A and B are shown apart, each in its own frame.
Chain A
Amino acid sequence: MKCDVVVVGAGPGGSMFSKTAAEAGLKVVMLEKRQEIGDPVRCAEGVGKRALSKMVELDSRWIASEVKGARIIAPDGTSIVMSEDKGGAEVGYVLERKVFDRALAENAARAGAKVLVKTRATGLLRKDGVPCGVTAMRFGEALRIDAPLVIGADGVESKVGRWAGIDTALKLKDIETCAQFLVQDSSIDDSYCEFYLGNSIAPAGYVWSFPKGKKLANVGLGVLGSRSKPGEALRLLRQFVDKRYPNGRAVEMVVGGDPCSGPIESTVADGVMLVGDAARQTDPLTGGGILNAMEAGIIAGEVAAKAISAGDVSASGLKEYEDRWRATIGRHISRSYEFKEFFVKLSDDDLNRLLGSLKGEDLTKTDLRGMLRVLFRLNPKLLWELRHLVI
């Protein structure tokens, strides 16, 4: 099989790339090793409203619920409410990703991309050492796809990058190991996302509860890999849910790894670009990666169209992708990485002091960044290391 560009992985990153590139006239083939796109889910499904609506036409089929704001709960139980339209910049909708991911892939197909499910890329084809497509296994049969450009949108596993010589292996301190239940319980607040902090409940991570409507919520947690031991995420989740929702019913289980490394050194090589989790573009502080993967997919799609028509898919021909994502997503996640590196060091006492200091502050118009600014004003000593990020 021959095409202009072969895309490995049909998550939000791969599908947005494929749609953009196909609309620009490229012949696109997108491979997905799973037989069902979007399933099983590895996600808490929270996204900001505004950024999402800029990239895709909203559809009630994949919006499970809309939230009013976020509540942050300190280890000592103190709770802080961030509001509505601003807190909602981080989390506004809770999606139904099984439907969402499939809808994005359908959009790509509608734009002209060819989609092959149950097809797993197994390596790069090379000519004179330069990548020129992939080998794949399709329903038990070997397949070769020749293409001058290969997109690694293969998520946390990120093998395409490593085949191309980009070291994407995550250090334990740069990945959160996560477990989540979809919990049904009458005490679930359908209007607020909740974030619980504490080193005993989620070491160097947090517990989230993202409501999906009708007293259902994605209740999960992440533990920093360097603070984890085998099976720790699931063990801590069971402990939390037993305590917080003693009568709750877990009707689904999700586990996964969420990169939190901040920008990696390189995301392009000759004939290869990486997008989304494969490029480690997740926000290291929140763990959110859907929107960044989509945005990176769009940028890479635009650059691919130019590079193919110019006949230059060398690393330098693809540099515009590198420059553009680093100026937007990259700047944002570098700051988040520094915040993360600082916050993971805090004790429960520090966390209690910080969140306690916000009591009496009006945060109804504040987003995460605004809240960090207020925190810095109130706790300059404790947060001194972060001054260059806040000022």
Chain B
Amino acid sequence: MLKGCVVLLTVNRYKCCYCGACVGVCPSLALELVETWLEISADCTECGLCTRICPVGALEVKA
């Protein structure tokens, strides 16, 4: 994906429990957990793996 494009992966910060499971499965190193704040970088390819691993359903790839 081109840098600067809008990433369609979103995190619901009211749900996220900042556990880091999503970071461990992301093949593109696109996620970074800063204590309680999950950052999504432009390297995200919207593969959706992280959405499936999130125990609470805080991640979503918007169509």
**Do B33 and A256 touch across chains, with their CB atoms under 8 A apart?**
no
**Do B49 and A42 touch across chains, with their CB atoms under 8 A apart?**
no
Q: In the bound complex, how far is the Cα of B36 from the Cα of A118, in angstroms?
A: 12
**Do A257 and B57 touch across chains, with their CB atoms under 8 A apart?**
no
Q: In the bound complex, how far is the Cα of B56 from the Cα of A232, in angstroms?
A: 7
Tell me which residues from 15 to 51 in chain B have a Cβ below 8 Å from any Cβ of chain A. 17-27, 29, 32-35, 49, 51
Given contacts A159-B23, A225-B53, 6 further A-B contacts (CB under 8 A): A33-B35, A228-B52, A230-B60, A232-B55, A234-B56, A256-B20
Q: Can you show 20 pairs from A to B with CB atoms below 8 A apart?
A: A33-B35, A40-B18, A42-B19, A156-B20, A156-B21, A156-B23, A168-B24, A169-B27, A175-B25, A177-B53, A225-B52, A230-B57, A232-B55, A233-B55, A234-B55, A253-B17, A255-B21, A255-B55, A255-B56, A256-B20
| A35 interface residue (CB < 8 Å to B) | yes
Residues of chain B lying within 8 A (CB to CB) of residue A229: 52
The dominant DSSP class at the A interface is mixed
**Do A256 and B55 touch across chains, with their CB atoms under 8 A apart?**
yes
The answer to whether residues A177 and B27 also contact, given A157-B20, A230-B60, A255-B19 and a CB cut-off of 8 A, is no
The answer to whether residues A177 and B49 also contact, given A159-B29, A170-B24, A170-B25 and a CB cut-off of 8 A, is no
**Do B34 and A120 touch across chains, with their CB atoms under 8 A apart?**
yes
Q: Number of B residues contacting the other chain (C-beta, 8 Å)? A: 27
Q: Which residues does A use to contact B, with CB under 8 Å?
A: 33-35, 40, 42, 118, 120, 155-159, 162, 168-172, 175, 177-179, 225, 228-235, 253, 255-257, 259
Q: In the bound complex, how far is the Cα of B19 from the Cα of A234, in angstroms?
A: 13
Q: Which residues does B use to contact A, with CB under 8 Å?
A: 17-27, 29, 32-35, 49, 51-60
Q: In the bound complex, how far is the Cα of B18 from the Cα of A226, in angstroms?
A: 21
Residue of B nearest to A237 (CB): B55
Q: In the bound complex, how far is the Cα of B14 from the Cα of A231, in angstroms?
A: 14
The 8 closest A-B pairs by CB, nearest first: A231-B57, A257-B21, A233-B55, A157-B23, A255-B55, A230-B57, A156-B24, A256-B19
**Do A158 and B55 touch across chains, with their CB atoms under 8 A apart?**
no
> Which of A228, A234, A255 has most B Cβ within 10 Å?
A255
Q: In the bound complex, how far is the Cα of B35 from the Cα of A156, in angstroms?
A: 14
Residues of chain A lying within 8 A (CB to CB) of residue B54: 177, 230-231
> Which of B23, B55, B56, B60 has most A Cβ within 10 Å?
B55
> Which of A33, A156, A178, A229 has most B Cβ within 10 Å?
A156
> Which of B18, B21, B27, B59 has most A Cβ within 10 Å?
B21
**Do A225 and B25 touch across chains, with their CB atoms under 8 A apart?**
yes
Q: In the bound complex, how far is the Cα of B33 from the Cα of A344, in angstroms?
A: 30
Q: How far is the CB of B46 from chain A (nearest CB, A)?
A: 14
Residues of chain A lying within 8 A (CB to CB) of residue B32: 159
Q: In the bound complex, how far is the Cα of B54 from the Cα of A234, in angstroms?
A: 9
Report which of B27, B33, B35, B55 forms a contact with A231, defined as CB distance below 8 A: B55
**Do B29 and A162 touch across chains, with their CB atoms under 8 A apart?**
yes
Q: How far is the CB of B23 from chain A (nearest CB, A)?
A: 4
Q: How far is the CB of A230 from chain B (nearest CB, A)?
A: 4
Q: In the bound complex, how far is the Cα of B24 from the Cα of A225, in angstroms?
A: 12
Report which of A35, A232, A257 forms a contact with B25, defined as CB distance below 8 A: A257
Report which of B17, B20, B59 forms a contact with A230, defined as CB distance below 8 A: B59
